[in-house]
Amino acid sequence: MMAGQPYEDQVDVTGQVLEADVRQRKFQLWIDDRTTAHVSFTEDQESVVTTALKEHRFVRLRARGQGKFSSQGRLQRIISVQSFDLIRGDELSFAASAPAIEDVLKSLAKEVPDEEWAALPEDLTDNLDHYLYGGQEE
């Protein structure tokens, strides 16, 4: 590959299908809010693509294959698809080793000096809205 030239490489990306042209068998895969890749699909792949479109709020489409990249390394289009996989919202990955939110909050609370905790109003939990938003004038 020469510097400054577009190139092809393996691609494995996941994104949303927000529009598709079934007649021309093309769609855009929205990888994030600013990045899209143009993708062509076969008649055999139409069902998975239209399902990803119909259920775009809850489903992501994972595409693996060969991609064409700009000279800056930005994916422009997927030129051949090895496979499509639907990833439903309940299947979206997360780090199983990540600490529970309660543990994170306890850790953060330990960083607050005792004198700061002592300075909080005694009725804070009973009147949280008042302390957050202020009292209402009548």
84 and 123 fall within a common domain: no
- In this structure, what are the phi and psi dihedrals at residue 5, rounded to the nearest 5 degrees? -110, 145
Residue 138: pLDDT above 50? no
**How open is the CA angle 88-94-100, to the nearest 5 degrees?**
130
Establish if 81 belongs to a structural domain.
Answer: yes
Residue 84: pLDDT above 50? yes
What's residue 87's pLDDT?
92
Establish if 78 belongs to a structural domain.
Answer: yes
Are 28 and 38 in contact by the 8 Å Cβ rule? The answer is: yes
Residue 136: pLDDT above 80? no
51 and 23 fall within a common domain: yes
Are 80 and 62 in contact by the 8 Å Cβ rule? The answer is: no
pLDDT, tens digit (0-9, with 9 covering 90-100), for 24-64:
999 999 998 888 999 999 999 999 999 999 999 899 999 99
Least confident of 2-6, 40-44, 81-85, 106-110: 2-6
Confidence at 90, pLDDT banded by 50, 70, 90: low
Establish if 54 belongs to a structural domain.
Answer: yes
> Which domain, by its residues, includes 63?
7-91
The total number of structural domains that make up the chain: 2
80 and 123 fall within a common domain: no
Q: What is the pTM of this model?
A: 0.60
Residue 23: pLDDT above 80? yes
Residue 101: pLDDT above 80? yes
Higher-pLDDT residue of 131, 91:
131
3-12, 24-33, 129-138, range with greatest mean pLDDT: 24-33
Per-chain mean pLDDT for the chain:
87
